[in-house]
Structure 1
Amino acid sequence: MELTATTIIVAFAAVFLISFMRGAFGGGFAIIGIPVVSLVMDPVTAGGLLAPLFVAMDLVALRYWKPSTWSRPDLALLLPGLVVGIGLGFSLFGVLDHRAISILMAAITLIFVGLWFGGGAEVTVRPRSTPKAIAAGFTSGVTTMVAHSGGPPLAIYLLPLGLSKQMYAGTTSLFFTVGNAIKAAPWLFLAKPAANVWTLMAICLLAIPAGVWLGWRFHGKLGQRQLYRACYSLLVVTALKLLWDGVSGFLG
């Protein structure tokens, strides 16, 4: 990767976009900003660049998504699977077929969103399920380690619970705070960032505080139903991106 003005501008814009999503929705939609970074570097280098920046975003986001916004019963069920999933994703990083995983996650996500919109797009309140939570945490752990795309499995579990918009964002935020802290070192080991990547990382740090703050302000302007509609709509975008990654990988 060459540290040119174009590279800096594109990476800075991508980090700002991901930070905005972090502040607005608590996390889980980083994959929307990743294609922007991939315009100027290969996916592994992008992963190494973003992994520490995700941790910085988490530290800033903790200022807004405080413990009062965390759903502790759900986190207690989700986090063990997340840890195991990240470990498995790291150990099998070179073996797993990233293309097949992307296509499978895209299909599941599109079916989930289609059922919600087909059912009237209403905010529901359903009881939590221990098996579903464990499966969601584990699947999110694998996909966040493999492709920074752990958002869909978590959303598929959390959205049907009908949590308040603050509780949904806060729970998502802490979930990915834990996940990003665990996967930062493995990603740095896999990517082995060069000196110019570390320089770019330092520059992109400047985009994080404003991005998270603006996202948090945007969150405050959304009603409960608006936030849920936005999350489901973003899941469609995420699924289409995963589908494109998978299909183009097989065709290429």
Structure 2
Amino acid sequence: MIASSVAPDLTAATVLVAFAGVFLICFMKGAFGGGFAIVGIPLLSIVMDPVTAGGLLAPLFVAMDLYALRYWKASTWSRPDLVRLLPGLLIGIGLGYLLFRFLDHHAIAIIIAVVTLMFVGLWLAGGGKVAFRQRSTPKAITAGLTSGITTMVAHSGGPPLAMYLLPLGLSKEVYAGTTSLFFTVGNATKAVPWLLLVRPAGSDWTLMAICLLAIPSGVWLGWRIHGMLDQHQIYRACYGLLVVTALKLLWDGVSGYLG
């Protein structure tokens, strides 16, 4: 089933809200390498339906990622982890595309939210310290696969990836750089399926062009903030953002059933 996009009217409010949402996502990408796109999506949903927002963002993610590589260079990538994560990611995106029309999105959102909150709760119970644990290929494959499915279905692939990477105790630069490249591959892969599922129409393309202007300043500002924070501050911020993301997913899932 192809979902035709309902092009939003290009009012000043629509442009302003969409621009702010893209800027926020870019800021997160510059500060943390990505994975928190869902934090900005609620803003876009104020002026357009969520499906249209997903179709609008899909190609913009690719532009954000390519620009972010200017800051998150190859020296910040954890190759051993990417080798374990990327195959699962690609398979997950394929599964997400095939199951998009049949999955109960609300149930998936609730499950991801509950697991994420449990993960953060365990971290807090352990004293909120940066952990140093061994890599696990099965856990990496599971994280990549889950992230691929959720990023395809709801642009919410960050929590599964973070639950794998954060306990490794990577340096803040390597954590952000690895996350950035992971989602560069993922967003480039899912752009075509999303554009097939939700075909942009009319003013969508104009709005995308306007939002492109938010990318350089958003990524740059996030990168500067990243440089000002130390290792523990970055990790606390990541865990805090996981809570925000999980609560948003939980709200989406529960409100979907209540509605």
Instruction: Please classify the TM superposition score into its range, dividing by the shorter chain length.
Output: over 0.9
1:42 aligns with 2:42: no
> Partner residue of 1:179?
186
Distance 2:239 2:215 in 1: 24
Distance 1:189 1:6 in 2: 28
SS in 1 for 2:212: helix
1:1-252 matches, cutoff 5 A? 1-252=8-259
CA deviations over 1:141-179 (Å, ceiling 9, x no partner): 000000000000000000000000000000000000000
5+ residue gaps, structure 2, are 1-7
Tell me the TM-score normalised to structure 1 length: 0.99
SS in 1 for 2:213: helix
Distance 1:112 1:29 in 2: 16
Distance 1:33 1:48 in 2: 14
Kindly provide the amino acid, as one letter, of the partner of residue 72 in structure 1. R
Kindly provide the amino acid, as one letter, of the partner of residue 189 in structure 1. L
Kindly provide the amino acid, as one letter, of the partner of residue 161 in structure 2. L
Instruction: Report deviation, 1:43.
Output: 1.1
Instruction: Report deviation, 1:48.
Output: 0.8
Instruction: Report deviation, 1:195.
Output: 1.9
Distance 2:125 2:66 in 1: 38
Kindly provide the amino acid, as one letter, of the partner of residue 45 in structure 1. T
CA RMSD after TM alignment: 0.4
SS in 2 for 1:208: helix
Kindly provide the amino acid, as one letter, of the partner of residue 92 in structure 2. G
Distance 1:85 1:195 in 2: 31
Kindly provide the amino acid, as one letter, of the partner of residue 241 in structure 1. K
Distance 2:216 2:121 in 1: 35
SS in 2 for 1:141: helix
Distance 1:191 1:35 in 2: 18
Distance 1:204 1:195 in 2: 15
Tell me the TM-score normalised to structure 2 length: 0.97
CA deviations over 1:123-156 (Å, ceiling 9, x no partner): 1110000000000000000000000000000000
**Deviation above 3 Å: which 4+ runs of structure 1?**
none
Kindly provide the amino acid, as one letter, of the partner of residue 216 in structure 1. W
5+ residue gaps, structure 1, are none
Instruction: Report deviation, 1:92.
Output: 0.8
CA deviations over 1:8-57 (Å, ceiling 9, x no partner): 00000000000000000000000000000000111111011000110010
Distance 1:216 1:138 in 2: 28
CA deviations over 1:200-230 (Å, ceiling 9, x no partner): 0000000000000000000000100000000
